[in-house]
Protein backbone atom coordinates (compact mmCIF):
# COMPACT_ATOMS: atom_id res chain seq x y z
CA UNK A 1 0.00 0.00 0.00
CA UNK A 2 1.44 3.40 -0.94
CA UNK A 3 2.40 5.54 2.04
CA UNK A 4 0.11 8.38 0.94
CA UNK A 5 -2.87 6.01 0.77
CA UNK A 6 -2.07 4.64 4.23
CA UNK A 7 -1.76 8.13 5.70
CA UNK A 8 -5.10 9.31 4.29
CA UNK A 9 -6.80 6.04 5.26
CA UNK A 10 -5.53 6.50 8.81
CA UNK A 11 -6.74 10.11 8.84
CA UNK A 12 -10.25 9.08 7.71
CA UNK A 13 -10.73 5.55 9.10
CA UNK A 14 -14.52 5.57 8.79
CA UNK A 15 -14.29 5.85 5.01
CA UNK A 16 -11.16 3.75 4.51
CA UNK A 17 -12.71 1.63 1.73
CA UNK A 18 -13.91 4.69 -0.18
CA UNK A 19 -10.45 6.24 0.16
CA UNK A 20 -8.87 3.11 -1.36
CA UNK A 21 -11.38 2.99 -4.23
CA UNK A 22 -10.94 6.66 -5.09
CA UNK A 23 -7.17 6.33 -4.84
CA UNK A 24 -7.23 3.53 -7.40
CA UNK A 25 -9.50 5.20 -9.95
CA UNK A 26 -9.03 8.96 -9.58
CA UNK A 27 -5.67 10.51 -10.47
CA UNK A 28 -6.51 13.90 -8.92
CA UNK A 29 -7.47 12.26 -5.62
CA UNK A 30 -4.23 10.25 -5.72
CA UNK A 31 -2.25 13.47 -6.26
CA UNK A 32 -4.07 15.10 -3.32
CA UNK A 33 -3.10 12.13 -1.16
CA UNK A 34 0.52 12.55 -2.23
CA UNK A 35 0.38 16.29 -1.50
CA UNK A 36 -1.11 15.51 1.92
CA UNK A 37 1.75 13.12 2.63
CA UNK A 38 4.34 15.69 1.55
CA UNK A 39 2.78 18.32 3.79
CA UNK A 40 2.58 15.97 6.79
CA UNK A 41 6.22 14.97 6.31
CA UNK A 42 7.29 18.62 6.07
CA UNK A 43 5.44 19.41 9.31
CA UNK A 44 7.20 16.52 11.05
CA UNK A 45 10.66 17.52 9.76
CA UNK A 46 10.38 21.26 10.31
CA UNK A 47 11.86 22.76 13.47
CA UNK A 48 9.43 24.68 15.62
CA UNK A 49 9.43 27.86 13.48
CA UNK A 50 6.01 29.12 14.51
CA UNK A 51 5.10 30.96 11.30
CA UNK A 52 6.05 28.10 9.01
CA UNK A 53 4.29 25.56 11.24
CA UNK A 54 1.10 27.65 11.03
CA UNK A 55 1.35 27.79 7.24
CA UNK A 56 1.94 24.05 6.96
CA UNK A 57 -0.96 23.36 9.35
CA UNK A 58 -3.24 25.59 7.27
CA UNK A 59 -2.14 23.83 4.08
CA UNK A 60 -2.74 20.43 5.63
CA UNK A 61 -6.22 21.50 6.71
CA UNK A 62 -7.02 22.75 3.18
CA UNK A 63 -5.82 19.43 1.75
CA UNK A 64 -8.00 17.52 4.24
CA UNK A 65 -10.98 19.65 3.22
CA UNK A 66 -10.35 18.90 -0.45
CA UNK A 67 -9.93 15.18 0.24
CA UNK A 68 -13.22 15.17 2.14
CA UNK A 69 -14.92 17.00 -0.73
CA UNK A 70 -13.82 14.24 -3.12
CA UNK A 71 -15.00 11.58 -0.68
CA UNK A 72 -18.34 13.31 -0.21
CA UNK A 73 -18.90 13.69 -3.96
CA UNK A 74 -18.04 10.04 -4.44
CA UNK A 75 -20.63 9.05 -1.82
CA UNK A 76 -23.46 11.12 -3.32
CA UNK A 77 -25.47 9.29 -5.97
CA UNK A 78 -25.67 11.16 -9.27
CA UNK A 79 -28.74 13.34 -9.68
CA UNK A 80 -30.87 12.29 -12.63
CA UNK A 81 -32.87 15.01 -14.31
CA UNK A 82 -35.96 14.34 -16.31
Annotated domain spans of the chain:
3-75
* The pLDDT of residue 80 is above 70: no
User: How confident is the model over 17-70, as pLDDT tens digits?
Assistant: 999 999 999 999 999 999 999 999 998 887 768 888 899 999 999 999 999 999
CA distance 6 to 4: 5
pLDDT of residue 78: 55
Positive/negative CA dihedral, 69, 71, 75, 81: positive
82 confidence band (pLDDT: 50, 70, 90): low
* Integer Rg of the chain from CA: 15
User: C-alpha angle 11/17/19, rounded to 5°?
Assistant: 50
CA distance 30 to 23: 5
* The pLDDT of residue 79 is above 60: no
CA distance 65 to 58: 11
Amino acid sequence: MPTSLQLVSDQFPLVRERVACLFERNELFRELCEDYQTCAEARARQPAAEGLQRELSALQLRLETELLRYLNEDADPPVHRR
